[in-house]
Structure 1
Amino acid sequence: MVPPPPVITTPTFPSQPGQPDQPPPPYSCLTPFDNPTACIPTDASGTPIDVPATARSAALSLHIPEPAIQIGPDPARNKWNMIPIGFPLWIWTTEPKSLHATTTQQGITITMTATQGPTTITFGDGTTITCHTMTPRAPIITPPPPSPDCGHTYQDKADYTITATTTWTIHWDALGFTGSIPITRTASTPLHVGELSSVLVQGP
């Protein structure tokens, strides 16, 4: 059976939020047979606006932060500015875990929600892990335990680069259309891993 053609009507649209003194542009409402709740407006020339493309463009312009990498224990808190070989290292990030925004483009109101997914950590020594949760380390823990969900222990002294790549999903909603866009954000931080040696000092 051939599907029925789209129905074109001319609805009345209220003024857009934040633009009370500007009348709405002329719209035609294109209702697809498979999505009767969707209303596709036209631009000033009368050409139907590609709502999904407009929403995707808005979603990609949403500012998503890079991972704010934290290392525990903090190597900056010791005079050598390093992590000893064999010491359990904890990794976590402190950026927001979700973001919400609303924008209006070409008269279309677009709602966006960005949700953080797993973070992949590379430690520079050939080790890569994917962390679905990341527990912050308390400043002082005795004896030092390994991280319960996102950590590593270096076995060789060297200067390493820790890289974190976080996957985000941006969900958008506009005029009855919805969609999702996966994106990634990456950040790196240097880390010096050294060896501590005990020295016996003869008393007087």
Structure 2
Amino acid sequence: MKLQQKTGLVSVQCDKWASTSHAKTADSSNPTHRPTAPPKEHVPTYAERVAEIKEKNKQAIDAYKAALAQRSDHYRTGECVFTAGGPFSSQNCSMPTKPNLINIPDPPKGSPRPTEPMLPPEQAAYLAIATKLRIDASSVGIGPDPDLSRWKMAVVGHSYWLWADGPTHIGPVSDSASGRTVTLNATLSSVTFDMGDGHTVGCKGAGTPYPGDKKGLHAKSPTCGYTYQRTSAHHAGGTYPVRATTYWSVAYTAPDGSGVIPIVLSSQRQLEVGELQTVITH
């Protein structure tokens, strides 16, 4: 009796195995259960490739634009200053790296090239600034020049002329690398002098250069000047750091757009300011 039960159990298990094995064999022979082939990789069309390149170029120009604006902010706040004859300060005052753009490839044979320029007008202007325009920081102009005076210093109570010593206009400069011609004209619109003693002087334009004659020694500048009231003896190093911050307006024009891009630069010089005393002898 026990043997029959075991035999029956073995028979049932064998029947189940045979049934399952038969089902698997039937499924493997069924063509409807064959694994599907992986989808084909999408090959971008020429128009899609051009659109992707334009987007990457736009990102490169936007990065340059942001870096140029940050550089102007550093100059404006005094974090970034150029001293004539010396190195830049700790901030990176040099021009941002020129954007590395990707050229539009030739279209497939028989297809026309895209007629739309690679960059819109403003971005084309930034590319022209990066590749064709150079604006250097103007030197601090002070007259009569204290370094040439008999005292080798500026004097309390004397009126001094102030100006940004350097070019006040650059251009026109044209560039067509973006697929459209854009023209730049840079103009120095204003200058702010930090006199080092806690006072600032704002001037429209670049100020007026000192004429260089003796009559100007006691005459005030018609546009931009300053008179020190305290000596620099109490200041660190015995001199005042005089900084000229120049504000440039770069106007751009293209056949389909125009605008203005601001650029800020600054430079400084050390100025000793003393006081003359009258000695009476008998």
TM-score normalized by the length of structure 2: 0.52
Partner SS for 1:114? strand
Check 1:78–1:143 CA distance in 2 against 1; reply closer, same or farther (3 A cut): closer
1-structure distance, mates of 2:151, 2:208: 25
2-structure distance, mates of 1:188, 1:27: 51
**4+ runs deviating over 3 angstroms:** none
Structure 1 range deviating more: 96-105 or 187-196: 96-105
- Name the amino acid aligned to 1:137: Y
Structure 2 unmatched runs, 5+:
1-105, 107-111, 233-238
Check 1:110–1:143 CA distance in 2 against 1; reply closer, same or farther (3 A cut): closer
Question: Which runs of structure 2 are paired with 1:4-15 in the superposition (5 Å)?
Answer: none
The structure that has the greater radius of gyration is: 2
- 1:102 equivalent to 2:174? Answer yes
- Structure 1 position 63, deviation (Å): 0.8
Are 2:160 and 2:226, in contact at CA under 8 Å, matched by a contact in 1?
Answer: yes
| Corresponding residue number in structure 2 for 1:137 | 210
Check 1:161–1:172 CA distance in 2 against 1; reply closer, same or farther (3 A cut): same
- Structure 1 position 145, deviation (Å): 2.1
Partner SS for 1:54? helix
Check 1:170–1:60 CA distance in 2 against 1; reply closer, same or farther (3 A cut): farther
Are 1:87 and 1:153, in contact at CA under 8 Å, matched by a contact in 2?
Answer: yes
- Structure 1 position 120, deviation (Å): 0.8
| Corresponding residue number in structure 2 for 1:71 | 142
Alignment deviations for residues 159-190 of structure 1 (CA, whole Å, 9 cap, x no partner): 11111111111112234222221111111111
| Corresponding residue number in structure 2 for 1:154 | 228
Are 1:120 and 1:128, in contact at CA under 8 Å, matched by a contact in 2?
Answer: yes
Are 2:164 and 2:191, in contact at CA under 8 Å, matched by a contact in 1?
Answer: no
Match of residue 190, structure 2, among 82, 105, 118: 118
| Corresponding residue number in structure 2 for 1:28 | 114
- 1:55 equivalent to 2:132? Answer no
- Structure 1 position 99, deviation (Å): 1.2
Alignment deviations for residues 73-106 of structure 1 (CA, whole Å, 9 cap, x no partner): 1111124310111111111123222111112214
Alignment deviations for residues 117-143 of structure 1 (CA, whole Å, 9 cap, x no partner): 011111011111210141222321167
TM-score normalized by the length of structure 1: 0.70
Identical positions, percent = 34
| RMSD of equivalent CA atoms | 2.1
- Larger fraction in helix: 2
- Name the amino acid aligned to 2:183: T
- Larger fraction in strand: 1
- Structure 1 position 156, deviation (Å): 0.9
- Name the amino acid aligned to 1:161: P
Structure 1 unmatched runs, 5+:
1-24, 30-39, 42-48
Partner SS for 2:126? helix
